[in-house]
Copies of this chain bind each other. A is one copy, B any other.
Amino acid sequence: MTSFRFAVNVTPKPGILDPQGRAVEGSLGHLGIESVSGVRIGRRAELTVDAPDEATARSVVERLAGELLSNPLIEVYAIETIAAASSAVGIGAGED
C-alpha cells in the first residue's frame, strides 16, 4: 500500500450564481484594487488515499469528489495529485 495525496478543487459552474465571489468583488473597492474581476469562490479538499497504485487511489477520489465533495448540478471539480503523502505533510507550514 502506498499513500497518495490529492487535492479536489470544486468551483461553481460557469453561469451559476456565486454570492461569495460577488462579495469579494464588492470588497475590492475598500482595498483600492480595481484591476481584479471574474472572482469565483469554491472549495479545496486535500486528502490522503492508501491504495496499491495511483489509478486505484484516483478512482476513490473521483467517487468522493462526485458523491460527497461537490454538487454536480451546480459545481465542477478537478482532481490534482499533490505528492506521495509522506512528503506532502507540512507544505506551506513554514511560518508556524
Contacts and interface: CB of A to CB of B under 8 A. Distances in A.
A44 B10 contact: yes
B14 A36 contact: no
A27 B45 CA distance: 14
Contacts of A90: 14
Contacts of A51: 35
Copies in the complex: 2
- Size range of the interface on A? 35 or more
Interface in A13-37: 13-15, 21, 24, 27-28, 31, 33, 35-37
A67 B31 CA distance: 9
B78 A38 contact: no
Interface string A58-94: 0010011001110000001110000001000110110
